[in-house]
Amino acid sequence: MTDLAGSPQRTSAEPELGKRERLVAATRRVLHEQGVERTTLADIAQAADVPVGNVYYYFKTKDELVAAAIDAHAEDIQRTLASFDRHRSPKARLKAFVRMVVEQRDLTARYGCPQGSLCSELDKRDDGLDRCCAELIRLPIDWAEHQFRLMGRRDARDLAVALIATYQGIALTTNTLRDPELMTREGKRLERWIDSLA
pLDDT digits (tens, 9 = 90+) for 57-98: 999 999 999 999 999 999 999 999 999 999 999 999 999 999
CB 115 within 8 A of CB 73: yes
Domain boundaries, the chain: 19-197
Neighbours of 186 (CB within 10 A): 21
Tens digit of each residue's pLDDT (9 = 90 or more) over 174-188: 999 999 999 999 999
Q: What is the dihedral of CA 177, 180, 184, 190, to 10 degrees?
A: 50
The stretch 143-148 carries a mean pLDDT of 98
94, amino acid identity: L
Fold of domain 19-197:
Tetracycline Repressor; domain 2 (1.10.357)
Contact call for residues 119 and 137 (beta carbons, < 8 A)? yes
DSSP per-residue codes, 66-102: HHHHHHHHHHHHHHHHHHGGGSSSHHHHHHHHHHHHH
Evaluate whether 104 touches 3 at the Cβ level (below 8 Å): yes
